[in-house]
Structure 1
Amino acid sequence: MDSTEGSVTPAQRHKARHFALQAIYQWQLTGYSATEIEKQFLEDQPIRGADLEYLHDLISGVINNVDEIDATFAPHLSRPLDELDQVDKAVLRVGTFELMFRQEVPYRVVINESILLAKEFAEQDSHKFVNGVLDKVVKAIK
């Protein structure tokens, strides 16, 4: 279900972020190209109801800009980037990408969505960690 820009709902965007997080997690573990990850993901996942354009933008945007994204949030971590849990790293990469490259999305929406994803997929208190890091990223970007 692809959607035109004017009729995208928050639920469709949330689903796009949900699936993008899973795709980025898979990419982190496999190292496949953005194209291959997206192709596998679209074939293997029941992604009905997601904003497919936004999903594509998130997957390709995070993978193609990962060094810049990591350099933006890494200074705000309490431990080295390579010691981060893979789910936390994926949540922070998607959230930081949106804060950097999708500035039409209000930062509060990005942070709230990232917290929801952390609550859904990550360790128990990860959402607090994600909130703290992304809050600092917002201040650093402005």
Structure 2
Amino acid sequence: MSAHNNLSRSIARLGTVQALYQMEVSGATTAEVIADFADGKLPRQTEASYTDSEGDLDLFKLLVEKAVDRQATYDRTIARHLGKGWRLERIDAVARAILRAGAAELEQRTDIPVAVVIDEYVEVAKAFFEGPEPGFINAALDAAARDLRPTEQGA
């Protein structure tokens, strides 16, 4: 796969996390965030390397739509695997958006290896958090992957 393809997927993932966060805190609609992404307004530029690249619109739309449509399922799956002391509704809204986007991709894009999906969302987490969150997101998505991709058990 080309580096451009990887970059456009990475941009779509970051945009998805920002879109889900925006939808939760401001009530933006799915249609509004998809239009923002298509217009280049999402993701908000956090890394210079993204400025000249286009995000994967199909991946972005799939992840945002599924994260919204299947949020209750993803939330239950994630909540089942949260470590002691972590409750989904009490964690940071950005971390929640990362977990939901990761869960959507794990379930919907079985062509992308579990390890790649998890690594990508851990990298997104590192862009937002300096504390324990990236490790927590890694563990939560790794555990959720067992439910969302049962066919890859032990892979």
TM range (shorter): 0.7 to 0.9
Match for 1:30: what amino acid? S
In the superposition, the TM-score normalised over structure 2's length comes to: 0.79
User: Which digits, 9 at most, give the CA deviation of each residue in 1:61-103, with x for residues without a partner?
Assistant: 2112111111111111132211011111011000011111211
Cα drift, residue 137 of structure 1: 1.0
Counterpart for residue 29 of structure 1: 25
Note if contact 2:37-2:57 (Cα within 8 Å) is conserved in structure 1.
no
The alignment covers a number of residue pairs equal to 137
In the superposition, the TM-score normalised over structure 1's length comes to: 0.85
Counterpart for residue 73 of structure 1: 78
**Compared with structure 1, are the counterparts of its residues 45 and 114 closer, same or farther at alpha carbon in structure 2 (3 Å cutoff)?**
same
Cα drift, residue 7 of structure 1: 10
Question: Higher helix fraction: Structure 1 or Structure 2?
Answer: 1
Cα drift, residue 46 of structure 1: 6.0
Cα drift, residue 129 of structure 1: 0.3
Distance 1:39 1:96 in 2: 23
User: Which digits, 9 at most, give the CA deviation of each residue in 1:26-68, with x for residues without a partner?
Assistant: 0111233211332345447166421111111111121121111
Counterpart for residue 49 of structure 1: 54
**Are 2:140 and 1:140 aligned?**
no
Which of 17, 20, 41 aligns to 2:16? It is 20
Note if contact 1:35-1:60 (Cα within 8 Å) is conserved in structure 2.
no
Distance 2:38 2:147 in 1: 34
Note if contact 1:8-1:51 (Cα within 8 Å) is conserved in structure 2.
no
Distance 2:4 2:71 in 1: 26
Cα drift, residue 116 of structure 1: 0.2
**Compared with structure 1, are the counterparts of its residues 99 and 46 closer, same or farther at alpha carbon in structure 2 (3 Å cutoff)?**
closer
Runs of at least 4 residues of structure 1 off by over 6 A? none
Match for 1:54: what amino acid? L
1:1-142 equivalences under 5 Å are: 9-43=5-39, 45=41, 48-78=53-83, 79-141=86-148, 142=150
Match for 1:121: what amino acid? F
SS in 2 for 1:88: helix
- In structure 1, the gaps of 5 or more residues are 1-5
Note if contact 1:118-1:130 (Cα within 8 Å) is conserved in structure 2.
yes
Match for 1:14: what amino acid? S
Counterpart for residue 3 of structure 1: none
SS in 2 for 1:32: coil
- In structure 2, the gaps of 5 or more residues are 44-52, 151-155
